[in-house]
Structure 1
Amino acid sequence: MEIVIPEGSGPIAVHGFARPRPERAEELERLLLSFVAPTRAEPGAWQYQVHRDAADPTTLVFYELWRSRDDLRAHLAQPDLARFQRDRMHYLREDLEIHWLTPLTAEAP
């Protein structure tokens, strides 16, 4: 699956689910958490969170809020993120489930 950002203008949010292979769960968690600090430092990154699903602790959930689609595209082009996109099925038992959201109440931090 190629990650295709929907067209539009203004802020965009991403809500996604990562379901790891059992033998790669800890590795995937460490990897996703390693993205937090550098992502939060990027221009246009208003929010970046990684969660564990309370109902299914094997599932990791991420939430991102971006000032614009161009900011999100720049983020996804970062070497570490591009490498993860390319190699993600090494970690996942099924591909990422991604929901694109149009924020109705987003404001700059």
Structure 2
Amino acid sequence: MTEIVPTPNVPFALVGFARPKPERAAELRELLLSFVAPTRAEAGALEYHFHEDTDDPGSFVFYEVWRSKADLDRHLELPHMKEFWEHRMDYLEQDLDIRWLSMRSAYPRPIDA
């Protein structure tokens, strides 16, 4: 994985794509949906959205914006996230495709460090 060097005072964002095994798609959908509310409540979570591709049902996309990379790192250390990461291939046809994003537009509200 590429080393990520965050820009100070700029939100840290990513988009991820998940292609589940057909027989595990409904289960993965429910699991990923269960992450939405608790993640949005975390300190540093600015945006957290879970989508399903309308042209390819069963293909999932998540979009996250974090106040900082440190906030994302704390999120990934939570027990349910570590559990998911460890067992993700039980659900997936291929590993997650995660794209790290550098936000170029101004964020619409102040980012408190």
Q: Match for 2:95: what amino acid?
A: D
Structure 1 CA distance for aligned equivalents of residues 70 and 57 of structure 2: 33
Match of 1:52 in 2: 52
- Which one-letter code corresponds to 2:98 in the other structure? I
1:30 and 2:46 matched: no
1:103 aligns with 2:100: no
- Does the aligned pair in 2 maintain the 1:49–1:62 contact within 8 Å? yes
Aligned position for 2:67: 67
The number of aligned residues is 107
Distance 2:2 2:76 in 1: 10
Q: Which runs of 5+ in 2 are unaligned?
A: none
| 1:107 CA drift (Å) | 4.0
User: 1:86 maps to which residue?
Assistant: 86
Equivalent in 8, 14, 21 of residue 6 of structure 2: 8
Partners of 1:91 and 1:106 lie apart in 2 by 34
One-letter identity of the residue aligned with 1:8:
P
TM-score, scaled to structure 1: 0.91
Quick one: percent identity of the two aligned structures? Answer: 51
TM-score normalised by length of structure 2: 0.88
Runs of 4 or more, structure 1, over 3 Å off, are none
Taking only aligned residues, the RMSD between alpha carbons, in angstroms, comes to 1.6
